[in-house]
Structure 1
Amino acid sequence: MSLPQIHRTIEAIWKMESPKLIARLTHIVKDVSLAEDIAQDALVTALEKWEQTGMPENPGAWLMTTAKHRAIDLLRRNKVQDQKYAALAENTALFTEESFSEEIGDDLLRLIFMTCHPALSQDASAAMTLRLLCGLTTKEIARSFLTAEATIAQRIVRAKKTLKEKKVPFEIPAGEELKPRLSSVLEVIYLMFNEGYTATSGSQWTRPLLCREALRLGRVLAEIAPEEPEVHGLVSLMEFQFSRVHTRVNKNGEPILLTDQKRSQWDQLLIRRGTAALERSRKLGGTPGPYALQASISACHALAPSVQETDWTRIAALYEALFTLLPSPIVELNRAVAISMAFGPAVGMQMLDELSTHPSLKNYHLLPSVRGDLLVKLGRNKEARLEFERAALLTQNEREKTLLQNRAKECSKDPAP
């Protein structure tokens, strides 16, 4: 394996393993910022070591053991009581794969609750989660939030400082302490899932393992808070979305758009689970929240035999209800797509023309991408090509960039006689 290949492999392993590392290290050192530093040190050690010796059989366990040793050494240097680090030392043996995943799973949820403490704003909690649990850079997070990179960097630094100063415990709260954090926890799990469903950057279009972990955490949360409609709403949304994640790419990892996916290959068990979770959310009563509304939108897709037979009018109405709860240009962009499917591309283009002046969408690649799609349907291929080329310049995902470039090339071809 060449040096560049080793680096790419290590980068991929880091994206998969860093959330588990940081969660476990936070359990040990009780400091998120310090845990992240120790995890980074373990990564540097891996880069140096694996270039010489090759990849170990279980890279995740190797990184975890190395990081735990560093954490314990640090505690010893800080003169932690003999009893404490002696007890910690008993846990430094290499994990089996089974015990490794079970132990880490609980720590991930604890870390999420820790970073969603009421002392932090919801935006700060979300930004820190994308950094710690999804492995995104500050620049990538800023693009996700449609805000300045410096703003995101400040949020993350302040959030870590606040957690340390407040001595926020590394635990899953119970009873009345659970509810104040629930909204932030749901957003964090949703952000994790979205990053897995469509990766912000890198060479992969999807990160199914991240989706699966977010879905697992959502299911656990539904057991912890069974009377919360939005918890079941989020679980339903993730079940529906995950049911088609493996049909979103071909065997070469290239993206497959919704219109071209083989619906017969969507996971019917997950669709049934999504339907059941949505029904539980509805039975708990009250006005549907953002996650229940999005789950209802996903249900329209999951239960439709084809794109043409999808109830686009209902989807547009659901997006309108969602916009009432969460006013956002991105929600409006999605509504424009549904409107175009229900009433024609010309109507959708009118909405997009209004959205095109919105400052937060200036560098949002999906706006020109959607415009390009509608322009193709309107037979305006020359304009569509320019939109796809602009979208390709704005996206940070390599697979998506290639897809958009190919769509631009298609627009340049002479029409069939």
Structure 2
Amino acid sequence: MRLATLATLSCAFVTAAFATFDVSRYPTASELVLAQLPADVHPIRSVRVKSPTEGLLTLHLPAAGTRLPEGTIWGEFDPERLQLESEAVALARTLLTEKETPKLRLDLARTAAELAERRAELERQAGMLTRIAEDPTLAELYASESLMTAPGESKPPAKSALGTQEITALATRLRTQLALIDDVLLYAGTPRENELEQRALELKLKAQEIEVAQRLGEFRLALPFDGEVSLIPPPPANGKPLRVPLGADLALIQDFSAIQARVPIRRTEWRVIDPSQLQLRYAGRGRKPLTSSFQRSLVQETSGREELVYVFQFPEIHRAAARPLTGGQVMMQLVLNLNEPARIIPKIDLILAAPAAFRDAGWEAGVAAVIPGARLLALGETHLAISP
């Protein structure tokens, strides 16, 4: 009996609270602030440049804030040496075109002509030996001219003639040499030889050009994209070279053509929202709010775990005002654009109106109980969007 009485009194109390909850005193809006989140604000592109070597760096920097085109050289290590190497490889290219290539063709033609002359001489000698081997009289005459005196002997050795077999063998060796020369002449002096030898010279020069280009790319600092250069160490006085150690931070290259803000999306209920309905807003004191629109999502590693991050971009009209925010974290509002106007009601007001309803049933059922016929449209950290 006592329990029934308490239940009746509790129900009457809740019913009375429901009846007295007036949604009309809360503003109607088309958006809901889901949360205040720390956002990283940065230019659309940013690169930190470290020193590739140690030495004196000659700077070519304009006034701070000047936007430079991609490829602009803003610093050089040992510029005189880099200039000499560039001129040397350019000269080598000119010499290849105007001197080495014509000389190559001349040398190859001369080699082919010498081989042809050598072949003609060998063919003449081989023919002569063949005739000698076939004529005994000529063989005897040839043998008489081939007498030799051994070193250290006081008189010539016994007369010995080259036999027909030896003469034939000598002729055979000459014919073998002729065949080898014929194989070489199939290649020597031909367009194919010219092509390959020319290619060998080109590759040798190309290797030198690549080596110089690598040094230029390493020791001549250029902008990888259109942007601004901000020197990290104090600039030297009177335009003198800056002495830097290997690996030292030299500069930040930043592209301020667009400014973006990144926020982690950790709440599950936010991830199911269409991100095109989200905005990120900076509401600084004494200034007009700056609003950025959703651009893309990405997954990045933070403290050893993967984290979903939304990237927002400020419109061009807010770019100048948003620039001072870059380089650090600022607190920004994650705003949801609602599909229909709604009453924006603090959570605490609803909880105080009927604590038991929200403790036992959750937000959606609690709203339906406290405000009959109402629908919960969106849930923020401190407020609810309710369609009565």
Tell me the TM-score range normalised by the shorter chain. Answer: under 0.3
**TM-score normalised per structure 2:** 0.17
Greater helix fraction, Structure 1 or Structure 2: 1
Greater strand fraction, Structure 1 or Structure 2: 2
Query: Which structure is higher in RCO with an 8 Å CA cutoff and minimum separation 6?
Result: 2
Whichever of the two has the greater Rg, that structure is 2
